[in-house]
Structure formats: C-alpha cells, structure tokens
Structure 1
C-alpha cells in the first residue's frame, strides 16, 4: 500500500506575495534534482495549475474544499500522488482567507484535511521585526495548523536579510527556509487573468531560471525535510472514479489549443471513465475536424486570438452546423464566447460561430469572479432540472446583447454573475453554453449524461 506521506502546502499572507513563483521554483528545482514531484493547486485555477504541471513535468490537479468533500479531496490527492517522491500543493489567497469570517474553504482548511505541513511565503518589503510577529500570530491562529517554516520573499539586501533572520530566531521557533531577493521583473509575463499562458510561448527557460534562484536562495533540503516530516496519511482512500471504466461508446471532441485550454484533468478523465474516446481539436488550425459524437469547449483566451478564430471560417461554420444538427455540445466561458455571434475587443468586432444571437465584449476589469452556485431550471442532456450546480467564474468579457433575455437558459444563478439577468447556460438544441465552469467531481452525473447523449448520437438515436 502506498501512502503519499511527503507533502507540503505553500501558502501566502495574501494574493501577490510571491507564492506562485516560490511554488514553481521549488517544483522545478526538485524535479531537476531527480525528485518526482506531484503538483497540486488549491482552488479554482487553470493557469497556475498548468505552470505547475510544466515545472514538475507531471499533471497538476486542483483541490478545492468548496467543490469537494474531505473524502474526495483525499482520494484525488492520494491517487494523483502515487509514484511521487513528494507532493507540493500551492495555496491561494491568504493562508486563512476563505468564504466567510470562519475561513471556510481556506488554504489552512485544506492543509488540515491533508495533514500537510505549511510553508508560508511572506513579502518582506519594508518590514523587519514585524515579520516575526506576523509569523507568531499565524502559528497560533488556528488549532491543527502545522506551520513548518517560512520563506522570506522580496528582501532588499544582506542587512535586511540579517535582521529578518535574527528577528525570526529571537521571537519564534519557526525555521526560515530561504530568503529571496527582490526581482526586477516577474520572470513569467502576466496579463489580465494572471500569468501568461505557456500555450503562447516556451516558458522552459523561465522555469529553469526560477529553479536556479531556488537552488541559490532557498533551503531545499530543509523544505524536503518538512515534507518528509508530514504525518502518516492513513488508510488508502477509495478510487476517484468508482467502478470499472465503461467500454468505449462515443467520440467526444474537445478543443485544446492556444485559444481554449481550460480543462480540469478530472473532467476529461470522468468522460473517459464514462466511456468516451476523447479527440483533441483546434479552432486555430484550418484542418477539417474528424467526425465526433459530442463536443466540449473549455475556457481560455479567445479574445487574444479573436482575429485568427474569426478568419478560420470553415471551422466556425462547421461548429455552427454541428450545433444545428443537435450534436451534444458543452461550452464554458471562452467556449461560450466562440459560440456567440460576435466578440468585441479593442474597438473591433469579430464574427464567431453564431450559434447564439449574442455578442460578448471584452472589458478592462473582471465581470465575473469567484465561486458560483446555481439551480438547473430545464431538463437537458447534461443535467436534469433541479440539479444544484457548484462552479466558478472568472471572465473579463460580458454579454451585451439585448436579446439575452429572450433565449432559453438552463441555470438560475444563486451565487455569481452568470451570463445575463442572473442566468447562465444558454440552450440551443443540445448545446449548453455559459460563463460557468464546473468540476466533474462536484457535479455527479454530468460526464455520464454527456457520454450517454453522445452515444445516442453515435447510434442515430435521439439524445
């Protein structure tokens, strides 16, 4: 029996403290040193998770107490850690920041669920002794937290680092596991949704530079000791997907290119477990698509590639024809934008597939951000009416069409913005499209129903 004992959770005091850079640096440094690293990202995130996958050379899974019970989280963690020398979990926001004043769904709560030692990355800009007070407060703030060390980030020089270290040693018993200097610029470029996508340029050199930084400034041996000191994980959790995988019964295409690539690994795995053969497609490649029985359009950056997508008219026309034919199509966020009539950005309007008579317009600020909760209000091939759907949204575009209120929809938003007028999940034949993202493990039955609809299409039956 394998127990994924060596594990750490890297957290920060807030967003922007540098924990992502520290996590990437550690993952790459350990991987480069011959360790097999299993990477995880806390919370709903595609971009950081993809960079962690690249840094560790191993797929990254998301762990989220909002979506998943403790048992599901431990199952995902265990089974995705098999074969690893250590597991590295990147937290999100501040260590204790959750959905309410009790810190529900926080990184600290996730650490307790996994009995994971915590290493805290702290932005030390214009601070010295106060850092020790902050660390002392964090160490005793909540019972059950194992604060195994701190990494002091954005230090100004040797004198600054000396005072920081002496303050920590004098006033706390928490070890300093590294002190990073201020960097002139972020080694990985950023834009509106966070780090720039690796789909658009080769980031290997940047990750190796971060590993060099970690090797010079971090106590990698101490960090590994903290991971190895994690308590025994306990009994082996059940499999992520119960039962034997179903026999292949349908081909489901999913667009995965530089424009659309936001997919949780477990969503694709759930479809395969339910009997789907997955076929990777592109909106940017002019090559005709092979025949498929269903289609999954994830999120991404269609606004960045709007001109190229609009120029690929044969693929967009084919996409519209598939929707009109009744093919089961599930689209999230960026995929929804592609299915609309037009996409507006930088005072230009680009023609999209036109499945829905809607326009989405890119805005300078987020138009939807955070966890969602919704009720399914119409029976579809994906959900029965009455289903409670937990999800999340993060989009800078908004639906600006006056006709939005006239269209049939599948979701009534209880929490979150949705697409328009408290609604989401626009419906057309067997197409479902909206801003809401889901995680398959939080919406039981989605994958099975999707595959069943695609299988019905394959056999000529009516889904």
Structure 2
C-alpha cells in the first residue's frame, strides 16, 4: 500500500453533448504543449473518446469504470497509469450525476468521489443567462462529497452573453467561472453513427487538437484550472494494480489492430502479456504473411465501413477460417465477431466475411445493443468458467441474423442485462473460437487472460 499525490481533474457536463470532450481534449493538449506530462483517462466503456484523449495528451489513455471495477481497483489503475505524470485529466460521460439507476450508480460523480478529484463542469449555455446560476446551485448541492471546483461556459453567443452569465453565476453561487468558449461551427471533430470518427480513418487530428488547445488558452484561465487540479489531496492506501510478477512468454497471441478493428483496452493486452503471452500486432487489411501464432484476439471496431476491403481479401478470410477449423484459440468481440460471420449488410450492399460462424449481421439505423452487460456463463468454454457472471458492455448498430433459433445455436452466455446476439443469448462457441457482441475488461473478468493463455499453450503443445 502507498499514498499517491497526483494533481487531477474530472471534466464533466450536465449531459452528453455539453462540450466536455472539447474541453477535455483542449485542456490535455494545452498542458501537453506547455511541457506538462498529462495522463488521460475516460470514464465509462468508451474506446473512441479514450483514443482521442490519448492523442491530445500524447500518452495512452485508460478507462475507469465503476461498473467493471471495484473502487480499490479504480484507484490502483489510476495510480498505475498516472505514475510520474504532472497531471491527470479524467473525462466523464453523460451528465455528472447520471448513472444506471435513480441512485446514480456508476456515475461520474461516484468516480470523482472514488478518486477524491475536483470537478470542472462543462455547461452548454445556448439561449441561457441567469438560469445558469440556478442550475449550478442545484448541481453544487445535489450530492455530498462532490467538489465542484469550477465551470466552463460553452457555446456562448457574444461578449454581452458571457458577461451576463458570469455576473449571474458570481452573484448567486460560489462556483468559479474558469472559462467561456464561443460557439464553434462546424463541430471540430467529425462524427458518424457510433460517435466521433476514428483517428485511423481521419488524418486531420493534429490540426484539430492544436486548434482546441488554442481555444482553451484564449478563452479559459488555465492557471486557475491548474490550481484546481493541484488542490486534489493524496490518495491513501493504494494497492499495486498487478501484485504478482509477470510470467515468462511461452506462447504468441496475435491481435488485429488496423483501421477495421482497433477497440482494445490496454489493460486487456497487458493482462495477456503478464499471463505469459508474447503479443504481435496483425492486420486484416494487409496481405503480408503472419508469424506463427498460438492464439488470435479480434477486438471491436468498424468492419462495416471497410467491409468492401475486407471482402476483397478472400485469402485473409480463408486464413482465419482455417486457423479456427484447426482449433486455434480465437476470441472475438463485436466488430471481430462481425468479421467471423458469413456476411455484413449495410443498406443495399452485402459483403462476404470469413464464414467461421454461420450467422449474418445487418446494420440498422439505430443502435441495436447499447449499454452495460451482465451475462451468466451457461456452457463450458476455454475462456470463462461455467456458472460465472460476466460484466461488460455492448454498442452495436448491427443485428445478428440466423436461420436457426437461439436455443439451437451453441451460445455460452445468457444475458441478464443487455441484448447480445439472438434471443437474449451471446457468446457463439465453435471449437476454440468464442465470438460475442459483449466487450469485456480484464480487470472486471480477472480469469480471462490466464485462461486464454492456457488455452493457447495447450493448442501449441497439441
């Protein structure tokens, strides 16, 4: 156990779309450009915002989620990633007090309390003046243990608008106004059906981030925001994240990281490595030969946007199908699962995929599965113990289609919360291939990495 002193700040909003991502990215890049080492974090199971935060801070980002992790694990992960950093920027999700239920379980406010971190609120002030003070009064007094240290006023219309807002807030509340940003049009970061566009499919991120840093310097009091971050007290009694020593690498596990599939928690990869796997990065969009591997990890991503490229590489699909048929351990999540199916349909076009799993996926106009997942493991499989409960999340616009009913398919997971593939089930199991819509985090399923590596060792020996 140790005590950790790291300046830190939770950047949140009144709701989704309030501007907290712009403020988080701009703040992280402004401090990075000033020579500070910034450790970025994203609250909740978000891959895309987390990657953009990492780009802004010039340092990999990690996710902190009270649904996946116990409070002591969150503090350990925070200390592990923020070690030797000058400051940590933690972007919240949705509104400050929004959670899974009326009690606000797993909210950004709960995370701020776990980390004993001051909160910087992002407030959309569109067509609002004096009411902003009333809203802030309610926010400041709603729950105990939340240190609301300041507010940034977003989408302000003019100097007069900013003056009235600031004067009202200063007269009626004790919440410092630490910045006021003008309206930004168009949105500086392109979006599409699953949120911000992937940096792997967009080349203008450096210009965007530099512009956001300039926006923060020109319109915010960065010195006072820095003082707010430094007001955070020490975290006491923090345990090591990985108390056991790493095992020597005995097997090689490949993971696909390209423009099609790139959703991975860094802790998942680190857990595999510590369990005894040498990790090699692979691509489905490159016809180069693969090295010898004893396991394959297919993360999530956007196979639908690159379906034509994936379908045109018939030999790649055949390669993965042959490996699965040979019994190679393959673990696939969401986009990785979609690649393993017979086909992907988006609009009026259908593209053939690897054909490992005899189901099809069809893109919908709205999310078909969205939110936290809780599933009971019904069937024996190499990765998750039968009878255990899996916690994770799903976010997919595609639906799974099959000529067979759900009870006739080899599904390992029964959804207690969430949508899954078909009929309330998820986790299609064939040979040593496990495919699901559910994303897991290694710190929420601590058996997964060790079991994956053991299965790869058995396959290598066999």
Under TM normalisation by the shorter chain, which class is it?
Answer: over 0.9
Q: Secondary structure at the match of 2:223?
A: helix
Q: Deviations over 1:296-319 (max 9, x none)?
A: 000000000000000011111000
CA-atom RMSD in angstroms: 0.9
The answer for the alignment partner of 2:219 in structure 1 is 217
**Separation in 2, partners of 1:230, 1:384:** 41
Q: Secondary structure at the match of 1:234?
A: strand
The answer for the alignment partner of 2:133 in structure 1 is 132
Q: Does 1:23 align with 2:35?
A: no
The answer for the alignment partner of 2:63 in structure 1 is 62
Q: Does 1:313 align with 2:314?
A: yes
Q: Does 1:296 align with 2:297?
A: yes
Q: Secondary structure at the match of 1:349?
A: strand
1:228-267 matches, within 5 Å, as 228-235=230-237, 237-267=238-268
The answer for the alignment partner of 2:207 in structure 1 is 205
Q: Would you say the 8 A contact 1:131–1:168 is kept in 2?
A: yes
**Separation in 1, partners of 2:252, 2:405:** 31
**Separation in 1, partners of 2:291, 2:362:** 31
The offset of 1:439, in angstroms, is 0.3
The offset of 1:2, in angstroms, is 6.8
The answer for the alignment partner of 1:434 in structure 2 is 436
The answer for the alignment partner of 1:196 in structure 2 is 197
Unaligned residue ranges in structure 2 (runs of 5+): none
Q: Secondary structure at the match of 1:112?
A: helix
Q: Would you say the 8 A contact 2:3–2:234 is kept in 1?
A: no
The offset of 1:401, in angstroms, is 1.8
Q: Would you say the 8 A contact 2:3–2:235 is kept in 1?
A: no
Q: Would you say the 8 A contact 1:10–1:90 is kept in 2?
A: yes
The answer for the alignment partner of 2:456 in structure 1 is 454
Matched positions, count: 459
**Separation in 2, partners of 1:429, 1:53:** 37
Q: Does 1:156 align with 2:161?
A: no
Q: Would you say the 8 A contact 2:376–2:390 is kept in 1?
A: yes
The offset of 1:346, in angstroms, is 2.2
The offset of 1:4, in angstroms, is 3.7
Q: Deviations over 1:140-184 (max 9, x none)?
A: 110111000000000000000000010011011111110000011
The answer for the alignment partner of 2:383 in structure 1 is 382
The answer for the alignment partner of 2:54 in structure 1 is 53
Q: Would you say the 8 A contact 1:288–1:315 is kept in 2?
A: no
The answer for the alignment partner of 1:423 in structure 2 is 425
**Separation in 2, partners of 1:120, 1:74:** 22
Q: Secondary structure at the match of 1:344?
A: strand
**Separation in 2, partners of 1:223, 1:190:** 28
The offset of 1:402, in angstroms, is 2.1
Q: Secondary structure at the match of 1:48?
A: helix
Q: Deviations over 1:173-222 (max 9, x none)?
A: 11111000001111110001110000012211111111111111111111
The offset of 1:357, in angstroms, is 1.0
The offset of 1:404, in angstroms, is 5.3
Unaligned residue ranges in structure 1 (runs of 5+): none
Q: Deviations over 1:62-85 (max 9, x none)?
A: 000011100000000011111110
